[in-house]
Amino acid sequence: MSIPSNNDCQDLNRRFGAPERIVFRPSQDTGVPVVALANKYGSCEIDLKGARVLSYRPTGQQPVLFLPKSMKAEPAAWTHGGIPVCWPWFGRNGEPGSASHGFARQMTFSVRSSEYSEDSTEITLALASSDETRRIWPYDFDLEIKVSISMSLNVTLTARNTGKEKFFYTEGFHPYFNLSDAATVKVRGVDGAPVCDAREAKADGSPFTAKDFDSKWQGDLTVDRDYDHVFTTKDGEYAIFDPTINRTIVIRAHGNKKLVIWHPPADYGGSNMQPGDNRRMVCVEPATLFRDEGEWLEPGATHQLRMAIQSDPNDGSVHSRN
């Protein structure tokens, strides 16, 4: 599969597009195409640079994902917003000096297939190992990301080992959710979950492990301060209740071992975020991130990480048991 550029939009629309359902357009931010998916349930856009979902808007509702006003095109820059894909490591679990959250988010994905029906619209993107990736990480792989819109936004990351030796990796989705006012918002689904505060560096400088969960979270999490907290949860379902707009965003995940909730402090201005942007977003991230519990993938084996996001305009009764 060739690596697409903005000049390929006409060909991509001919091969994979469908009028008003699947449409490729040039992107001035990254220099590679963006694909828009739409149907009666809503719409989303995905940048082929990193296979990042940029936006998701259910029909008749406000945008679900937060996207800063400025998206940087430099491959090495960490750009916040949308749903970055973190692979083959999450956070700083790569080799010393390597980019945070892996290299997949910096690579241009090819288009593998598209499909649509009355109730669903989907696109499948792919990244295969190459000389470029082997200079960063010396393993052969096939990484496939399927994004679809039905009554929810669905993202599936499938990793396959195409080489002759097993490899180890960590991974995660890093979705940025759009909020009316963070200080009034609650995240549900973490009550009673073992938790680790990743803001607190360990005295000996060693990395966090699954053994560092020595306390349990009590109640809902109110997004009124900064967080970088890692939870061990059981049911794989979480909810963000935004009372100002009477909306609950439900996140269902499978294939992850942890949940990260990240909310930067008020003076945070990293990369393309501006001070004050933290009031408009929170990240609720299904991930497998610690080195002592990552995935070992044997030759020929596959592993999936799945996430579904559904937005319900209601009074927050969803997940009220938490």
- On the question of pLDDT at 314 being above 80, the answer is no
SS3 262: strand
Give the tens place of pLDDT for each residue, 162-200: 999 999 999 999 999 999 999 999 999 999 999 999 887
Residue 207 has what pLDDT?
Answer: 67
- Secondary structure element (H or E) that encloses residue 132, with its range: helix 131-134
Q: CA angle, corner 231, sides to 225 and 236, nearest 5? A: 115
Task: Give the model's confidence band at 201: pLDDT under 50 very low, under 70 low, under 90 confident, else very high.
Answer: low
Lowest mean pLDDT across 10-24, 206-220, 250-264: 206-220
Mean pLDDT score across all residues of the chain:
90
Give the tens place of pLDDT for each residue, 289-310: 988 889 999 999 999 999 999 9
The number of beta carbons lying within 10 Å of the beta carbon of residue 313 is: 13
- On the question of pLDDT at 76 being above 60, the answer is no
Lowest mean pLDDT across 74-83, 194-203, 270-279: 74-83
SS3 177: strand
CA-CA distance, 165 to 144, in Å (whole number)? 20
Task: Give the model's confidence band at 95: pLDDT under 50 very low, under 70 low, under 90 confident, else very high.
Answer: confident
- On the question of pLDDT at 113 being above 90, the answer is yes
Lowest mean pLDDT across 35-39, 135-139, 212-216, 225-229: 212-216
CA-CA distance, 33 to 44, in Å (whole number)? 14
Residue 214 has what pLDDT?
Answer: 74
Residue 310 has what pLDDT?
Answer: 98
Residues 6+ apart with CB under 8 A from 235: 189
CA distances from 187 to 237, 243, 310, 318 (A): 11, 12, 14, 11
φ, ψ (nearest 5 deg) of residue 274: -110, 150
Task: Give the model's confidence band at 319: pLDDT under 50 very low, under 70 low, under 90 confident, else very high.
Answer: very low
91, two tokens: 């956070």
Output the DSSP codes for 63-82: -SB---S-----TTS---SS
CA distances from 54 to 5, 99, 157, 285 (A): 18, 21, 16, 16
The helices-and-strands tally (H runs, E runs) of the chain is 2, 23
264, two tokens: 């930067």
39, two tokens: 């149907």
- On the question of pLDDT at 79 being above 90, the answer is no
Residue 73 has what pLDDT?
Answer: 46
Contact predicate 85/157, CB 8 Å? yes
For residues 103-123, average pLDDT: 97
CA-CA distance, 289 to 94, in Å (whole number)? 11
CA-CA distance, 121 to 191, in Å (whole number)? 35
Complete domains list, the chain, with CATH: 6-313 (2.70.98.10)
5, two tokens: 């550029």
